[in-house]
Structures are given as structure tokens and as C-alpha cells.
């Protein structure tokens, strides 16, 4: 384990599902902010009361921000390893395999888990902190991502 690495506890099944989710996210990123509110949330207006200034800011930052999301997502996909969907039906699916996230990769992980939650929140319609659409299966994923994100942040920063 690299110095400064933090361990993320994932079952093999969780790793596969997370990898597939991040791959789906890459497809979402191919959409346009103008057509998809979830992508728009990743590149919010910097000047809510000034459309021209917001447009200028957007023209300077949007492509880089979305490219950054793609690069972060690729980092996470690489770290999770190949997707073995057949394994999901096996006993091994429930085994926890701690994944070492080193200090250099940590920001990409945190930003990706956050971006996934922002996209899911947009899709499920989470507009305030009390929203708990428990009947929506995506809400379970949203909450699961929160717990893993929190675990990573706490483990990485709890020691300083």
C-alpha cells in the first residue's frame, strides 16, 4: 500500500456495480448541459444575475470541467479493475475486498462520487435536504455513494 493511501471497503459486487455506474456517467457526460440538467449542474452559472458574464465564464471553463470529470471517472474505473458480471451470481460477490486509494487518486475518487450523487439527485429530483424518495431504487445508490464518500473523506482527513 502506498504511503498516504486510504482503504475503501467494497464487496466484489459493489465494485462491479460502481464501475458500471461510473461507465454510465461517462455516457451522461457526452450529453450537453443545455439538454441535460444533470450535466448543467456540473457546470453551474458563475454569475446568476448576469447572463453575459456567465456565458463568458462558461466558455472558458466548461470544456475543462467536463474533461476533468471524464479523467476522474477513468481513474476510478481503472482502479476498480475489469467488470466481471458473471461473478455477481457467485458466492465471491459478497466478499469484501478493501481497495487502496492512494493520495494522488483521492481527489478523483471524491469528485467522481460527488458528481455521481449530483447526477442521481438531478434524476431523482432531490431538491431539498429532507427529500428521501425511498421507493426509488436509485435513492439507495445515492445513499450508498454518500456513505462511501464520507468514509473516504473521514479516513483521509481524520488523521490530520
Partner 1 sequence: MTAAASPELDERVDEQLDGRAVRAWQTVVWNDPVNLMSYVVYVFRTHFGYSREKATTLMLHVHEDGQAVVAEGAREQMELHARAMHDYGLWATVRKVGG
- Angle, nearest 10°, between helix axes 12-29 and 137-157? 100
What CA–CA distance (Å, rounded) separates 32 from 95? 39
Q: Max alpha carbon distance in the chain (Å)?
A: 57
Whose CA is closest to 83, among 17, 3, 153, 148? 17
What CA–CA distance (Å, rounded) separates 76 from 106? 9
CB closer to partner 1 out of 41 and 138: 41
Q: How far is the CB of 159 from partner 1 (least distance, A)?
A: 12
The conformation of residue 88, written as its DSSP 8-state character, comes to G
CB closer to partner 1 out of 60 and 96: 60
Q: How far is the CB of 66 from partner 1 (least distance, A)?
A: 10
Q: How far is the CB of 88 from partner 1 (least distance, A)?
A: 28
The CA angle 133-135-141, to the nearest 5 degrees, is 75
CB closer to partner 1 out of 11 and 151: 151
CB closer to partner 1 out of 129 and 135: 129
Quick check: 131 and 125 in contact, CB under 8 A?
Answer: yes
CB closer to partner 1 out of 1 and 103: 103
Q: How far is the CB of 82 from partner 1 (least distance, A)?
A: 27
Q: How far is the CB of 45 from partner 1 (least distance, A)?
A: 7
Which residues sit at the interface with partner 1, rule CB under 8 A?
41-48, 57, 61, 64-65, 68, 107, 110-111, 114-115, 117-118, 121, 126-129, 131, 146, 149-150, 153-154, 156-157
Amino acid at each position: 500500500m502506498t504511503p498516504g493511501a486510504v482503504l475503501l471497503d467494497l464487496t466484489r459486487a459493489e465494485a462491479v456495480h460502481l464501475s458500471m455506474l461510473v461507465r454510465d456517467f461517462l455516457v451522461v457526460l457526452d450529453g450537453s448541459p443545455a439538454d441535460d440538467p444533470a450535466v448543467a449542474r456540473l457546470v453551474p452559472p458563475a454569475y446568476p444575475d448576469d447572463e453575459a458574464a456567465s456565458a463568458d465564464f462558461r466558455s472558458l471553463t466548461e470544456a475543462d470541467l467536463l474533461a476533468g470529470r471524464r479523467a476522474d471517472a477513468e481513474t476510478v474505473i481503472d482502479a476498480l479493475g475489469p467488470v466481471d458480471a458473471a461473478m455477481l451470481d457467485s458466492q465471491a460477490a459478497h466478499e469484501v475486498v478493501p481497495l487502496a486509494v492512494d493520495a494522488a487518486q483521492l481527489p478523483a475518487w471524491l469528485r467522481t462520487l460527488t458528481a455521481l450523487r449530483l447526477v442521481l439527485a438531478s434524476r431523482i429530483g432531490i431538491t431539498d435536504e429532507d427529500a428521501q424518495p425511498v421507493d426509488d431504487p436509485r435513492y439507495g445508490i445515492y445513499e450508498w455513494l454518500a456513505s462511501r464518500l464520507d468514509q473516504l473523506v473521514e479516513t483521509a482527513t481524520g488523521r490530520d
